[in-house]
Structure 1
């Protein structure tokens, strides 16, 4: 599977070219299909390998940081399965909201109530969207 398409790469690079400290909306969600690791990525450095975003290796301590695209592409788990891209991920908030929700939950989450709470905690409620019943069925 191609983790980062040309379109996603262009968006990640554009975000990476903006001044640091920008609160981007995640561009892509990657995950380990046989484990708890998840990455919400917002930026790609000009080196074409260093991604930035919210990283959760499944130990209960998600954190903002960098990860190597080459390393993610090289991961091979049981049955030869590698890291995959979540084709259904539709970001609704900037990365800071996902980070705050992950801090509260102990893992990256897309639970709308938790995201709304995190947005309110960060005083970013203008990013709230109406709840979608289809999202509740996916959780």
Structure 2
């Protein structure tokens, strides 16, 4: 079973071919029993090499290439496998995710901090709407 839908594959390939410097992660994979997390923004034309941010839970998220087939081949205890977060969506570019994750020490901590910052900004906007 593939972790990527045909739509995600196509979107990741479009970003791979794009010259845009601010590509955003389109997919998040996670290990259900550990903090290991991957954010991917591009898929090479070979259909296997993903570019993005990888965090194996050692406190040092790394930007680079990783293999979709290797992630899909992982067999975990209790019959579990690496999963795709079907609710993941972001407007932030991969460079911002990388910066936040490196400062926080993990993608998961960065995600929580970014969510909290977004919620706070939304609350402030609701309380103090712009005067027109």
Regarding TM over 0.5, the answer is yes
Cα pair 1:39 1:54 within 8 Å, conserved? yes
Number of residues of Structure 1 aligned to a counterpart in Structure 2: 121
Gaps of at least 5 residues in structure 2 are 124-132
Q: Provide, for residues 80-138 of structure 1, a one-character-per-residue CA deviation record: whole Å limited to 9, x for no partner.
A: 2111000111213111111000011000021345896xxxxxxxxxxx897457xxxxx
| Runs of 4+ residues deviating >3 angstroms | 112-116, 128-133
Q: TM-score, normalised by structure 2?
A: 0.82
Equivalent residue runs for 1:1-139 within 5 Å: 2-19=2-19, 22-108=21-107, 109-113=110-114, 131=121
How many Å apart are 1:2 and its aligned residue?
3.6
Q: Provide, for residues 32-91 of structure 1, a one-character-per-residue CA deviation record: whole Å limited to 9, x for no partner.
A: 011111011000000110000011011100010111010010011111211100011121
In the alignment, which residue of structure 1 is the partner of 2:128? none
Q: Secondary structure at the match of 2:111?
A: coil
Q: TM-score, normalised by structure 1?
A: 0.78
Distance 1:47 1:2, change over 3 A: closer
Gaps of at least 5 residues in structure 1 are 117-127, 134-139
Coordinate RMSD, CA, aligned: 2.3
